[in-house]
DNA sequence: GCCAACGTTGGC
DNA sequence: GCCAACGTTGGC
């Protein structure tokens, strides 16, 4: 049984067109423990995720990606020149883990306002007030309700 | 650009 | 272990 996810990307940093061009990418830069734990412990290879544009006008779902690797260290945590550098992380004991994701498709854009209009989606993490988690689980019911709009 | 909400840090 | 201060996120 696959699980489903929603993964936010700041649209100015990395949008669906970059994902489509790259085909695969390491999901670098997650620096929140709960989001890390989802990637490290709960994601499975083959799981599908919505690619979500945050800080966009408007924000919303722009595509689908597939989890395509086991959990592995996010190498940017060791890179002093990276904005994601973390001086508390060591190669022996990495703090931040990531997954590689594979481009599946660009979808019809589903804005956050559209999502709010879907009754089956009202409990989605991304819709909760003050939600800042960059990776959230999506239920099968939510996934299917959104699929039916694409 | 604003600002509410959040997670993290650090003094105690 | 508390909690105020701070920096960041992210919708608008």
CA/C1' separation A148–C7 (Å): 40
d(CA A138, CA A147): 12
pLDDT in tens, A75-121: 999 998 888 999 888 888 899 999 999 999 999 999 999 999 999 99
Predicted confidence at residue A9, as pLDDT, reads 97
Nucleotides in B strand less than 7 A from protein CB: 4-8
Q: Which of A135, A66, A68 is nearest to A105 (CA)?
A: A66
pLDDT-based confidence at residue A133 (cuts at 50, 70, 90): very high
CA A24 to chain centre: 13
Average pLDDT over residues A21-28: 97
Tell me the CATH number at A49: 3.10.590.10
Domain boundaries, position A106: 4-147
Angle at the Cα of A117 from the Cα atoms of A132 and A32, rounded to 5 degrees:
10
Total domains in chain A come to 1
């Amino acid at each position: 049984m696959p699980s489903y996810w929603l993964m936010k990307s700041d649209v100015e940093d990395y949008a669906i067109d970059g994902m489509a061009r790259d085909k695969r990418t390491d999901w670098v830069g997650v620096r929140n423990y709960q989001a890390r734990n989802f990637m490290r412990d709960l994601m499975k290879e083959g799981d599908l995720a919505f690619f979500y544009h945050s800080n966009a006008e408007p924000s919303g779902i722009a595509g689908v990606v597939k989890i395509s690797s086991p959990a592995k260290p996010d190498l940017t945590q060791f890179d002093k020149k990276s904005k994601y550098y973390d001086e508390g992380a060591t190669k022996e004991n990495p703090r931040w883990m990531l997954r590689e994701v594979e481009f599946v498709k660009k979808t019809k854009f589903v804005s956050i306002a559209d999502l709010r209009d879907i009754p089956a989606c009202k409990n989605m993490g991304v819709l909760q007030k003050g939600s800042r988690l960059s990776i959230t689980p999506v239920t099968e019911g939510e996934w299917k309700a959104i699929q039916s709009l694409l």
